[in-house]
Amino acid sequence: MVNNIDLKPASEFITENKPERYIYDVGAGDHEIAISTKNLQVSYGQNLALSEGDLSFERYKITSLVGASGSGKSTFLRSLNRMNDSVATVKGNIMYRGVDINTKAIDVYEMRRHIGMVFQRPNPFAKSIYNNITFALTQRGQYTKQELDEIVETSLKQAALWDQVKDELDKSALALSGGQAQRLVIARALALKPDILLLDEPSSALDPISSAQVEDTLLKLKNQYTIIIVTHNMQQAARISDYTAFFHMGKVIEYDLTRKIFTRPKVELTNDYISGNFG
Amino acid sequence: MNAKSADKIATVVIYMISGIVALILIAMLAFILIRGVPNLSWHFLTSPARAFEAGGGIGIQLFNSFYLLILAMLISFPIALGAAIYLNEYSKKGRFTTIVRTAIEILSSLPSVVVGLFGFLIFVVQFHFGFSILSGAIALTFFNLPLLTRSIETSLAQIPNLQREAGSALGLSRWETVIHIILPAAVPSIVTGVVLSAGRVFGEAAALIYTAGQSAPALNFTDWNPFNISSPLNPMRPAETLAVHIWKINSEGIMPDANAVSAGASAVLIIVVLLFNLSARKIGAQLYKKLTSA
């Protein structure tokens, strides 16, 4: 028994064999790719926030982006639908449906209707619940009242909020609780029928119960949407995502199936992070 | 002396200083109201002023003040709104923005009598507008513009960036986001700012002495055709306002009841300005409540 204390941890024996980076090639199998990035570089002024971000995301799966604060994961996410355009310089290619959407020729407003985004803090408009959902729709297209009613009902049901608000759709959205507001914001994004849903720490400002509701919602949405989510919560990443990408100091260190990352990470640094040694 | 007693002394001193500020205001209000309110009557508020005999009122001046205020607001609000939207939503750091900001700052620190003289030379003399409501409204616009711009800009800046991100994440352009999301959310605070600035404009005298003039010709309150010279709506007629009237009576009033008229007019002016100030926050709060919980 005494001998056990002298035993070195198993990981020390195989350190040499461990790679410094590992990126699973999603495209190699017969997986359908929803969006992918190549040579993505994001800099704020002189500071390079993200230097290597080559990832492909499988369609109808949930991918978590994890990493410490300042690791570049949010920067990466916000670049995907070009929310960083006004504050940062984004170089490289973002391929979506065979088109590089990181070019001047792209109509970003139209593109963002395909690639929706939900933020850390719920941000409903100072409008009624109903108008929060229909506003962006009616700005662009012609809808009958009946069509709008249907869209409102469907998207609220998808976001698991319908039962709680169906009788007060004309009430101000600002009166909703944090968890309800966040699900309204998700419903608002879904109403545009996007292809991809980007979520930037969508439950970190919520209490555990609301957070669990948001997670359930995301799992239900998986059948119809490709979801990419930034999270600080390791359990959340392990619970809901199919793939996980670990970011560190502006680089993707490891990208693999979630179950592999959380059981047998190939890179030492990933192991350190998910076991809570830093971060 | 230990920290605790130092804190006690500081607290007492700060309380006293704040008390003195409040006391000055209360004393002034009390003085003006006690002297003025007994002179108020329906007749005083509605009848025209008399230059040589007792019993004149302030009806025309009161009307002129409100009419000028409305015109000045109609001109200055759209400009201030546009400038504020530019500064808060569109401007990037650069030479042009710096110039605009500096211009607004300098404009806001110009003494109102200088604004009045400028209005006199440019609009009254050069453009041949004469002493008129129009000249006065433009001078008041110059006076009001920087303060109103800044107050609207502050209102817009209070709307969290989350709202702008929400708009662009839904594929709305910056313009759509500003017009349909940011502005409506800022309405309560903008309204508060507008009403407060209305109070300031209402009491302004120096900018108007040389622009809107110091005479209040008789008006025919049954004639609402703005092209007739005796119509209250005619923007080209000279229009002494309440604040100018008070200044004028006190400097060269020769009616026997000059003191009473001046005291009464001052009380009316103060009451209106107070109403503006007190209602501003109330209206803003009510609007906010309506917008957020309806």
Residue B120 lies in a domain: yes
The alpha-carbon gap from A178 to the nearest alpha carbon of chain B, in Å, equals: 14
Confidence grade of residue A45 (pLDDT, cut at 50, 70, 90): confident
Closest-CA residue of B relative to A117 is B169
Residue B7 lies in a domain: no
Q: Which of A110, A138, A139, A186 to mutate to test the interface with B (most CBs of B within 10 A)?
A: A139
User: Is B163 within 8 Å of A125 when comparing Cβ atoms?
Assistant: yes
**Average predicted confidence (pLDDT) for chain A:** 87
Confidence grade of residue B220 (pLDDT, cut at 50, 70, 90): confident
pLDDT at A1 > cutoff 50: no
The alpha-carbon gap from A74 to the nearest alpha carbon of chain B, in Å, equals: 14
User: Is B171 within 8 Å of A171 when comparing Cβ atoms?
Assistant: no
Per-residue pLDDT of A78-95, as tens digits, reads 999 999 888 888 889 999
Q: How far is the CA of A131 from the CAs of A121, A147, A189, in angstroms? A: 19, 14, 13
Confidence grade of residue B88 (pLDDT, cut at 50, 70, 90): very high
Residue A198 lies in a domain: yes
Per-residue pLDDT of B27-56, as tens digits, reads 999 999 999 999 999 999 988 888 888 888
The alpha-carbon gap from B171 to the nearest alpha carbon of chain A, in Å, equals: 4
Per-residue pLDDT of A158-182, as tens digits, reads 888 999 999 999 898 988 988 899 9
- SS3 sequence of chain A: CCHHHHCCCHHHHHHHHCCCCEECCHHHCCCCEEEEEEEEEEEECCEEEECECCCEEECCCEEEEEECCCCCHHHHHHHHCCCCCCCCEEEEEEEECCEECCCCCCCHHHHHHHEEEECCCCCCCCCEHHHHHHHHHHHHCCCCHHHHHHHHHHHHHHCCCHHHHCCCCCCEHHHCCHHHHHHHHHHHHHCCCCCEEEEECCCCCCCHHHHHHHHHHHHHHCCCCEEEEECCCHHHHHHHCCEEEEEECCEEEEEEEHHHHHHCCCCHHHHHHHCCCCC
- In angstroms, how far is CA A83 from the centroid of its own chain? 13
Residue A16 lies in a domain: no
Confidence grade of residue A146 (pLDDT, cut at 50, 70, 90): very high
Which of A256-270, B11-25, B204-218, B278-292 is the most confident on average? Answer: B11-25
Domain residues for the domain of B184 are 40-293
Q: How far is the CA of B230 from the CAs of A249, B24, B145, B225, in angstroms? A: 77, 42, 30, 9
- Give the model's pLDDT for residue A17: 66
Domain residues for the domain of A254 are 29-100+108-274
Q: Report the predicted TM-score, pTM, of the whole model to 2 decimal places.
A: 0.84
Q: Rounded to whole angstroms, how far apart are CA atoms B60 and B216?
A: 7
Torsion of CA B248, B254, B259, B261, to 10 degrees: -70
- Give the model's pLDDT for residue B269: 94
Please answer whether residues B116 and B211 qualify as being in contact, where contact means their C-beta atoms are separated by less than 8 angstroms: yes
Residue A223 lies in a domain: yes
* Chain A residues closer than 8 Å to B184 by CB: 126-127
Helix (H, G, I), strand (E, B) or coil at B45: helix
Residue B166 lies in a domain: yes
* Chain B residues closer than 8 Å to A139 by CB: 172, 176, 180
Q: Rounded to whole angstroms, how far apart are CA atoms A108 and B121?
A: 51
Residue with tokens 């982006």: A65
Residue B186 lies in a domain: yes
Higher pLDDT, B23 or A269: B23
ipTM over 0.90: no
Q: How many domains does chain A have?
A: 1
Residue with tokens 């069509």: A147
User: Is A112 within 8 Å of B160 when comparing Cβ atoms?
Assistant: no
- Give the model's pLDDT for residue A275: 83
User: Is B293 within 8 Å of A171 when comparing Cβ atoms?
Assistant: yes
- Give the model's pLDDT for residue A13: 55
Q: How many domains does chain B have?
A: 1
Confidence grade of residue A23 (pLDDT, cut at 50, 70, 90): confident
Residue A248 lies in a domain: yes
A170–B contact, CB cutoff 8 A: yes
Q: What is the CATH number of the domain that holds B159?
A: 1.10.3720.10
Q: Rounded to whole angstroms, how far apart are CA atoms B58 and B45?
A: 5
User: Is B171 within 8 Å of A140 when comparing Cβ atoms?
Assistant: yes
- Give the model's pLDDT for residue A32: 87
Residue B3 lies in a domain: no
Residue A23 lies in a domain: no
Please answer whether residues A226 and A197 qualify as being in contact, where contact means their C-beta atoms are separated by less than 8 angstroms: yes
- In angstroms, how far is CA A189 from the centroid of its own chain? 13
Per-residue pLDDT of B123-163, as tens digits, reads 999 999 999 999 999 999 999 999 999 999 999 999 999 99
Residue A95 pairs in a beta bridge with A36, A100
Which of B162, B165, B292 is opposite residue A174, by nearest beta carbon? B292
Residue B264 lies in a domain: yes
Q: Rounded to whole angstroms, how far apart are CA atoms A126 and B180?
A: 10
B168–A contact, CB cutoff 8 A: yes
Question: How many inter-chain contacts (A to B, CB under 8 Å) are there?
Answer: 70
Residue A19 lies in a domain: no
B162–A contact, CB cutoff 8 A: yes
Per-residue pLDDT of A91-141, as tens digits, reads 899 999 889 999 989 999 999 999 999 999 999 998 899 999 999 999 888
Confidence grade of residue B219 (pLDDT, cut at 50, 70, 90): confident
Share of chain B above pLDDT 90, in %: 71
Residue B10 lies in a domain: no
Q: What is the CATH number of the domain that holds A170?
A: 3.40.50.300
- Give the model's pLDDT for residue B149: 95
Residue A2 lies in a domain: no
B23–A contact, CB cutoff 8 A: no
Share of chain B above pLDDT 70, in %: 99
